[in-house]
């Protein structure tokens, strides 16, 4: 009809989409006429090859292509595919649409339509323009319905037209129920971004997208030529996690207000921000390893893990029969000291263990993060060799300085780096360690690494079939730290470790004893750590562990720090000031 004059044929549109945006940008060049001819010839050449391919299997290939690629312009960005457009426009899957809704979607696909919802807080002229755009789309849909059904099925035509007459102009983007409450308070411009599926993913799970894409790429490589991934199920509840992130941002602002002179880096702000933000990574997983809360600022890489390394040392000591009350000498070591307590620099002789500060029990050593007693016992009380301590590093995925340089490590160096927190690992590996220990000690039926993608829906298209055969694939994530299990040989070792690894919370002098105030959570394992810059300023604050809440077990890891070794994170940055409020928000979010 006349209303379509000047529009490209469908095959031309497909070729243009294949060429991409640069294809259209050439229209603004000085040689517009020549470039226009070149484009037309490209479309003709492409159509000669593309049409026979898409016509295969009685048009099934064409149906698949158009379902995946035809765009609907929405919310400032293109939404591709029937599934995405259906969700953006109506908040439904394609197979849930009414006949009238299908007609609107078909009209939108028939010719590019820029869909933007209405809002009461817009300027009147914009509202009127969007209202006219919607009415025009409805009229196109009606014309298509009349052309399709006037002669063949007038009753169905009347029914669909009545449905179109009842349809109201959308007032705001269609979003899942879990997001509607969050978005209701946002300005229209921000709400509109969440109505676009692509932008919604960027806004809600941007920090996890690399992990999701990596897993999808791996799984896609396993598919046959006739299969395609149509859905993914992730463990993260994005609406609830959005609220969690907002609460954490408010918490970080309050932390800084409470002690503005403590921090050289602003918590909760981008690392490259003018305010020079801190690196932050907060991860919570359920007992099966699914990520249920996630917050990240910046990209913290492998680094010294401070006293978190004492977890590996504790496992080694328990595995050789050391009990929780066995005492270790607070032996002096040149140039080193404990972070706090009596006799910080240690004692010259080990013949007065009953005097305060001259020795510490296994539990006290871990609970209060004592460096000197741990170093002493690793070197003297048991016949450990460099080989078996190095094996411990490998089992836990830790790195020592000598091996990283390609040199052979010695026992005193390996023991020193464990005791004084110089062993290195990535934040993800720290969480991996805690997930494995928690599962081995408290949830032995599971043996899975932390993950976010839980299952996939895969559609298999067979020749001549109108519908695809759909199957669901549940993904498995076996733990990569199988070597840890070898140190947990019997129940006696496990019971000792349960007491020792819970002591930073349960012990009144423990570094995380304040966690006991958090309502509803029973901490099973907990360990904190603080690393310093070469100038003696706090660089990183760590906390990791697991807890039981409302009958469920969760594992957590927290890192707040910086890669700026000159200025560091700040001074007087205590666990009570940082880790306690973060942990309180984690538990509160899971309890809601």
Residue 189 CB coordination number (10 Å): 12
Which of 182 and 472 is assigned the larger pLDDT?
472
Could you tell me the CA-to-CA distances from 573 to 155, 189, 409 in Å, in that order? 74, 38, 33
Per the structure block, which two tokens stand in for 324? 């929780």
pLDDT band (50, 70, 90) for residue 226: confident
DSSP, collapsed to helix, strand or coil, labels residue 584 as helix
pLDDT of 20 reads 59
pLDDT band at 582 (very low <50, low <70, confident <90, very high): very high
Mean pLDDT of 277-297: 96
In the predicted model, is pLDDT for residue 448 greater than 60? yes
pLDDT per residue over 535-562, tens digit each? 999 999 999 999 999 999 999 999 999 9
Nearest to 558 by CA among 285, 232, 188, 271: 285
CA 125 vs. chain centroid, Å, equals 40
Tell me what the mean pLDDT of segment 393-415 comes to: 95
Does the structure show a pLDDT above 80 at 251? yes
Task: Provide the pLDDT for residue 450.
Answer: 96
Asked if 473 and 458 touch (Cβ cutoff 8 Å), the reply is: yes
Whether 296 shows a pLDDT value over 90: the answer reads yes
Q: Which residues contact 310 (CB under 8 A, 6 or more apart)?
A: 365, 366, 369, 374, 418, 419, 421, 527
Structure confidence at residue 5 (pLDDT): 40
Query: What confidence tier does 1 reach under pLDDT thresholds 50, 70, 90?
Result: very low
Q: Which helix (H) or strand (E) holds 579?
A: helix 575-591
Compute the average pLDDT of residues 425-444: 96
Query: Is 120 a residue whose pLDDT tops 80?
Result: no
State the DSSP string of 224-288. Answer: -TTEEEEEEEESS-HHHHHHHHHHHHHHHHHHHHH-GGGBSSBTTS-TTSTT-BPEEEEEEEETT
Q: 589: number of CA atoms within 13 Å, CB side?
A: 29
Q: What's the confidence (pLDDT) of residue 54?
A: 78
Provide φ and ψ at 447, rounded to 5°: -150, 60
Q: Which residues contact 28 (CB under 8 A, 6 or more apart)?
A: none
Residues forming beta bridges with residue 80, ordered by sequence position = 71
Pick the most confident of 110-124, 197-211, 386-400: 386-400
What number is the average pLDDT over the span 258-277?
85
Strand order in the sheet with 77-80: 77-80, 71-74, 114-115
Query: What local confidence, expressed as pLDDT, does residue 342 receive?
Result: 87
| pLDDT for residue 18 is more than 80 | no
Comparing 78-82, 258-262, 283-287, 464-468, which segment has the lowest mean pLDDT? 464-468
- Sole residue written with tokens 């426009």: 89
Residue 111 has pLDDT above 70, yes or no: no
Q: What is the helix, strand, coil percentage profile of the chain, to 5?
A: 50, 15, 35
> According to the model, what pLDDT value does residue 73 have?
61
Least confident of 71-80, 155-164, 548-557: 71-80
- Per-residue pLDDT band for 474 (boundaries 50, 70, 90) equals very high
* Confidence at residue 7, expressed as pLDDT on a 0 to 100 scale: 47
Element (H or E) spanning 452, and its range? none
Question: 453 CB contacts (<8 Å, ≥6 apart)?
Answer: 211, 212, 215, 216, 232, 233, 234, 235, 475
Q: How many residues does the chain have?
A: 592
Average pLDDT over residues 500-516: 95
Helix and strand totals (H; E) in the chain: 22, 15
Q: Supply the pLDDT for residue 6.
A: 43
Least confident of 73-82, 151-160, 228-237, 245-254: 73-82
Using DSSP bridges, classify how beta strands 114-115 and 71-74 pair: parallel, antiparallel or unpaired.
Answer: parallel
pLDDT of res. 424? 97
Q: Is the pLDDT of residue 228 over 90?
A: no
Three-class SS of 13-81: HHHHHHHCHHHHHHHHCCCHHHHHHHHHHHHHHHHHHHHHHHCHHHHHHHHHHHHHHCEEEECCEEEEC
**What are the tokens at 19?**
């060429």
**What is the DSSP pairing of strand 77-80 with strand 71-74?**
antiparallel
Provide, rounded to the nearest whole percent, the portion of the chain with pLDDT above 90.
60
Look at the alpha carbons of 512, 517, 518, 523 in this order and tell me if their dihedral is positive or negative. positive
User: Is it the case that residue 17 has pLDDT exceeding 80?
Assistant: no
């Amino acid at each position: 009809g006349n209303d379509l004059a000047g529009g490209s044929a469908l095959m031309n549109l497909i070729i243009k989409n294949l060429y991409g945006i640069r294809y259209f940008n050439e229209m603004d060049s000085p040689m517009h006429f020549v470039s226009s001819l070149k484009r037309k010839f490209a479309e003709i050449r492409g159509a000669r090859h593309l049409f026979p391919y898409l016509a295969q299997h009685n048009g099934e290939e064409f149906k698949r292509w158009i379902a995946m690629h035809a765009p609907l312009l929405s919310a400032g960005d293109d939404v591709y595919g029937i599934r995405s457009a259906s969700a953006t426009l109506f908040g439904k899957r394609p197979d849930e649409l009414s006949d009238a809704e299908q007609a609107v979607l078909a009209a939108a696909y028939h010719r590019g339509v820029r869909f933007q919802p209405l809002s009461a807080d817009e300027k009147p002229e914009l509202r009127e323009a969007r209202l006219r755009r919607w009415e025009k789309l409805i009229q196109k849909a009606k014309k298509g319905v009349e052309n399709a059904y006037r002669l063949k099925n007038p009753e169905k035509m009347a029914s669909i037209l009545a449905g179109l007459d009842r349809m109201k102009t959308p007032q705001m983007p269609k979003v899942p129920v879990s997001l509607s409450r969050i978005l209701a308070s946002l300005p229209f411009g921000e709400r509109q971004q969440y109505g676009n599926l692509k932008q919604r993913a960027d806004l809600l799970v941007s920090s996890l997208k690399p992990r999701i894409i990596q897993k999808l790429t791996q799984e896609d490589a396993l598919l046959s030529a006739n299969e395609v991934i149509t859905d993914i199920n992730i463990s993260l509840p994005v609406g609830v996690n959005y609220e969690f992130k907002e609460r954490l941002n408010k918490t970080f602002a309050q932390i800084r207000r409470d002690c503005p002179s403590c921090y050289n880096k602003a918590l909760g702000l981008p690392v490259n921000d003018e305010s020079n933000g801190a690196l932050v990574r907060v991860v919570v997983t359920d007992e099966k390893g699914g990520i249920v809360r996630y917050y990240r600022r910046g990209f913290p890489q492998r680094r010294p893990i401070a006293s978190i390394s004492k977890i590996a040392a504790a496992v080694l000591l328990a595995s050789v029969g050391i009990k929780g009350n066995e005492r270790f000498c607070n032996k002096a070591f040149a140039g080193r000291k404990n972070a706090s307590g009596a006799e910080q620099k240690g004692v010259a002789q080990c013949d007065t263990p009953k005097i305060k500060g001259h020795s510490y029990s296994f539990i006290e050593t871990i609970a209060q993060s004592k460096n000197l007693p741990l170093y002493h016992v690793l070197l003297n009380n048991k016949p450990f060799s460099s080989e078996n301590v190095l094996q411990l590093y490998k089992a836990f995925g830790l790195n020592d300085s000598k091996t990283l340089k390609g040199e052979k490590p010695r026992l005193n160096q390996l023991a020193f780096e464990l005791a004084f927190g110089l062993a290195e690992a990535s934040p993800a590996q720290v969480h991996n360690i805690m997930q494995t220990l928690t599962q081995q000690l408290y949830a032995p039926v599971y043996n899975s690494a932390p993950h976010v993608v839980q299952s996939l829906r895969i559609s298999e298209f067979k020749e001549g079939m109108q519908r695809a055969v759909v199957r669901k694939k549940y993904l498995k994530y076996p733990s990569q730290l199988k070597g840890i299990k070898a140190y947990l040989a019997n129940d006696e070792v496990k019971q000792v470790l349960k007491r020792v690894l819970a002591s930073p919370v349960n012990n009144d002098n423990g570094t995380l004893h304040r966690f006991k105030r958090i309502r509803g959570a029973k901490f099973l394992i907990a360990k904190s750590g603080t690393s310093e810059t070469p100038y003696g300023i706090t660089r990183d604050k760590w906390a990791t562990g697991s807890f039981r809440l409302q009958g469920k077990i969760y594992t957590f890891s927290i890192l707040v720090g910086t890669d700026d070794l000159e200025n560091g994170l700040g001074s007087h940055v205590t666990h009570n000031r940082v880790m306690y409020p973060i942990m309180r928000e984690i538990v509160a979010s899971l309890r809601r």
